[in-house]
Amino acid sequence: MNAKISPTGKVSPVGQPLDRVDGHLKVTGQARYAGEYPQTGLLHGSVVSSTIACGRIVSIDTTQALQVPGVVAVIDHTNRPHVASYDKDYEDADSAKGSPFRPLYNDKVLYSGQPLALVVADTLELARYAGSLVNIEYEVDAHQTDLTAAQDEAHTAPAETPKPRGDFQTGFSKAAFTVDARYSTPNEHHNPMEPHASTVLYQDDGSLEIHDKTQGTQNCQDYLHNVFGLEKEKIRILAAFVGGAFGSGLRPQYQLPLAVMAALQLKRSVRVTLTRQQMFTFGYRPNTLQRLRLGADAEGRLTAVGHDVIGQTSRFEDFTEHVVEWSGMLYQCDKVQLTYKLAPLDVYTPLDMRAPGATSGMVGLECALDELACAAGIDPVQLRLTNFAERNGNEDKPYSSKELRACYQQGAERFGWDKRNPEPRSMRNGHQLVGWGMAGGVWEAMQMKASAKASIDSDGKITVTSATTDIGTGTYTVMTQIAAEALGVMPQDIHFVLGDSSLPTAPLQGGSFTVSSVGTAVQQACRGLRTKLLDAVRMAHAEFAVVDMEEVGFGDGYLHIRGQRFAYADIVRESSHDVLDVRIDAEPDKKREGYATATHSAVFVEVLVDEDLGTIRVNRVVSAVAAGRVVNPKTARSQILGGVVWGISQALQEETLTDHHLGRFMNHSLAEYHIPVNADIGDIDVVFVEENDEIVNELGSKGVGEIGIVGVASAIANAIYHATGKRVRELPITLDKVL
């Protein structure tokens, strides 16, 4: 419908730096999270975790725990209720290939930290104390948790890796310049501010209303339906506010089935909250071992790209992510060979974590490209421009849009890259060595099927709904802006509702596809509501029964035709309905099929390295991003800032350390799992490069949640080399490695 949106000439809400519509609730403490919903008679569950990495349970003695006043039950594999799906395999929307983990399934211990019992008591403190009294006797088997030691046992990952193209070996052997280097990235854990929790409110009719820490309410609903054999209508999942997730909430974590198991057995409301230490007992970013082989001719044009990766997985599932694909698409090369293998270990299955695969794989690619630039004596930015790819070589498709050249140019100008002396150890500030490094970034611009509903009542109240979540990314706000633009009203006139499995279908919130997927559905639903408003005017006013669409405008809450205007509320009141509403099921446009779609970035970094102490400080960062139409520059900038901070963390601090003798994570707390604080962060400058894309979706938006972190760690590693002349290929880059 080609109607004019704003006949009054007001600026569209989309593209404006609107404050978060949910901000007031959050800063005043009125926003409730999964573990904060009160209920009379609510019971509390505490999980008892395994202390071995592999073996079986010989016995569980719960006698002492049950004698504690206020303890209601201790549930383990010997006395748990029947669970429908435990007799067969089941999946969730983000499951990996294999047999999913079943909490309290049998006597086998598959990894250290595995939940073996749930103590349920009147208070959380009592439950935790009683949990310490549960005595478990094990039969211990040999375990392996070291990827380096197990790499020879790796098998080809089930994910489809792009087929080789051209003769890689010839291209590499005949190159004027070559790089053959090995890199590694460590385990990382998500550690969102809000720990995982599930509050299961048991209803008199046996139905369950559940507040869960999740990135997909309907995924959790489907999961419980499949696992427990409950009717979907008897399960309602709510997640109005989520205190960060970064991928940790894509799959239902074990506290959810445990809480449901207890609620169904006891016919009581139960809450299970994981401790910070237990946040290290499920998915994480997997350790990777990478080999990069690059060849280039005398002018720096790539003649060969080889990227081989071994990642870790569990023994019961094959977790795969896109680690090597980026090396086949970011730069122009006709001779490419990519391999990706998995080594099964006695660990829990890894899980998607902000920019999964790209965050790890781009470390190898972008650091190796910097090494190639040094070997060939070519500026790192110029080398990337020389190898700029107009098409995605993996798919052999042109890009719907790609303003990466502008990212290089605008980022370099803002940073002052032309003042860089390319010689390592040539720039200093007193006793500090100054290093300048850069890297490129890429992430898929995906779109999934999604639904939304828009309605307006006789008071003019507009409500837009979808089952999507807001994990802190600003979904409430940007959907409000999209709806306001589509209906021609102000953002404050829109009430957007999310985080409820009973609402119109939405995909998991992840992958930077929420705006493109749910946003498109919201836009189409609101445009459909405009059509209904027009139809109501046509029915009520015979003189407008036949109207040229060019004559119709929507703006300021009014429908405008031939010099007359009709308030939306009046239109509804004059119609025969109390409410006008439209529900839309949106899916990707077929015109996308002929194109590759991606966001791109260029990251420029300055580091200061103390020559005597080896300490490293990231002094300033410029991140230039091309992500199509930016719905809200303020929240989008915050997403990039968060990604850059995490990239600094990945480069310099973040690592989950394993004691391979015990087979368990050692630094499973925020005291010992190192992440940056405010004092670690210097100046971060975000540049959004203008990029118009009419193919990716109707909004022209690509999403920014992931792209902010990609390439940051590589740029820092490259800057450290420039500062010190020492190439560190193992993340994180700590001072001992520099010294």
Write out the catalytic residue numbers. 706
The Cα 283–Cα 145 span in angstroms is 15
Helices marked H in 309-423: 358-376, 380-386, 404-415
Please give the radius of gyration of the chain, using alpha carbons only, rounded to the nearest integer. Answer: 27
The Cα 104–Cα 49 span in angstroms is 11
Specify the length of the chain in residues: 739
Question: What pLDDT sits at residue 94?
Answer: 85
Question: What pLDDT sits at residue 3?
Answer: 41
Quickly state the pLDDT bin for 550 (edges 50, 70, 90): confident
Q: Are 313 and 95 spatial neighbours (Cβ–Cβ below 8 Å)?
A: no
**Domains 357-446+593-738 and 448-587 fall in the same CATH topology:** yes
Residue linked to tokens 């350790």: 287
Question: What pLDDT sits at residue 6?
Answer: 52
User: Would you call 497 helix, strand, or coil by DSSP?
Assistant: strand
Question: What pLDDT sits at residue 580?
Answer: 97
Q: Which residues pair with 647 in a beta bridge?
A: none
Backbone phi, psi, residue 537, to 5°: -65, -40
State pLDDT tens for residues 419-450.
999 999 999 999 999 999 999 999 999 999 99
Domain boundaries, the chain: 357-446+593-738, 448-587
C-alpha distances in angstroms, 501 versus 209, 214, 216, 548, 584?
A: 10, 11, 8, 40, 17
State pLDDT tens for residues 593-628.
999 999 999 999 999 999 999 999 999 999 999 999
**Average pLDDT, integer, range 455-460:** 96
User: Would you call 588 helix, strand, or coil by DSSP?
Assistant: coil
Task: State the Cα torsion 562-564-569-572 to the nearest 10°.
Answer: -50
Q: Does an H or E element contain 169, and which?
A: helix 168-173
State pLDDT tens for residues 94-138.
889 989 999 999 999 999 999 999 999 999 999 999 999 999 999
Give the DSSP per-residue string, 332-349. Answer: --S-EEEEEEEEEESSPP
Q: Which residues pair with 580 in a beta bridge?
A: 456
Instruction: Give the 3-state secondary structure of 7-29.
Output: CCCCCCCCCCCCCCCCHHHHHCC
The Cα 454–Cα 528 span in angstroms is 8
What DSSP character marks residue 281?
A: S
Question: What pLDDT sits at residue 4?
Answer: 40
Quickly state the pLDDT bin for 159 (edges 50, 70, 90): confident
**Average pLDDT, integer, range 707-712:** 98
User: Would you call 458 helix, strand, or coil by DSSP?
Assistant: coil
Helices marked H in 29-99: 63-66
The Cα 299–Cα 722 span in angstroms is 22
**Average pLDDT, integer, range 46-60:** 98
Buried b / exposed e across 141-168, counting CB within 10 Å, b at 16+? eebbbbbeebeeebeebebebbeebbeb
What is the topology classification, in CATH, of domain 448-587?
A: Aldehyde Oxidoreductase; domain 4 (3.30.365)
Question: What pLDDT sits at residue 491?
Answer: 97
The Cα 516–Cα 692 span in angstroms is 14
- Sequence-distant (≥ 6) Cβ neighbours of residue 648 within 8 angstroms: 618, 621, 676, 680, 681, 712, 713, 716
Q: Which residues pair with 581 in a beta bridge?
A: 455
Give the DSSP per-residue string, 630-678. Answer: -S-HHHHHHHHHHHHHHHHHHHHT----EETTTTEES--STTTS----G
Question: What pLDDT sits at residue 5?
Answer: 47
Buried b / exposed e across 72-100, counting CB within 10 Å, b at 16+? bbbbbbeebeebebeeeebebbbbbebeb
Instruction: Give the 3-state secondary structure of 99-168.
Output: CCCCCCCCCEECCCCCEEEEEEECCHHHHHHHHCCCEEEEEECCCCCCHHHHHHHCEECCCCCCCCECCH
Helices and strands per DSSP (H, E), number in the chain: 16, 33
Residue linked to tokens 């792209």: 707
State pLDDT tens for residues 215-235.
999 999 999 999 999 999 999
Query: What is the dihedral sign for C-alpha 294, 435, 717, 630?
Result: negative
Q: Are 367 and 425 spatial neighbours (Cβ–Cβ below 8 Å)?
A: no
Angle at alpha carbon of residue 392, lines to 637 and 293, rounded to 5°: 95
pTM (2 decimals)? 0.97
Supply 656's token pair: 């989950």
Q: What is the architecture, at CATH level 2, of domain 357-446+593-738?
A: 2-Layer Sandwich (3.30)
Whether the predicted pLDDT of 549 surpasses 80: no
Question: What pLDDT sits at residue 87?
Answer: 74
Q: Does an H or E element contain 98, and which?
A: strand 97-98
The Cα 714–Cα 330 span in angstroms is 15
User: Would you call 198 helix, strand, or coil by DSSP?
Assistant: strand
C-alpha distances in angstroms, 603 versus 38, 265, 411, 469, 719?
A: 46, 53, 7, 29, 11
User: Would you call 171 helix, strand, or coil by DSSP?
Assistant: helix
**Average pLDDT, integer, range 570-589:** 96
Question: What pLDDT sits at residue 92?
Answer: 82
Backbone phi, psi, residue 706, to 5°: -90, -40
Whether the predicted pLDDT of 2 surpasses 80: no
Quickly state the pLDDT bin for 9 (edges 50, 70, 90): low
Whether the predicted pLDDT of 476 surpasses 50: yes
Q: Are 329 and 298 spatial neighbours (Cβ–Cβ below 8 Å)?
A: no
The residue type of 419 is K
Backbone phi, psi, residue 484, to 5°: -65, -40
Mean pLDDT of the chain, nearest integer: 96
**Average pLDDT, integer, range 330-340:** 98
The Cα 688–Cα 406 span in angstroms is 10
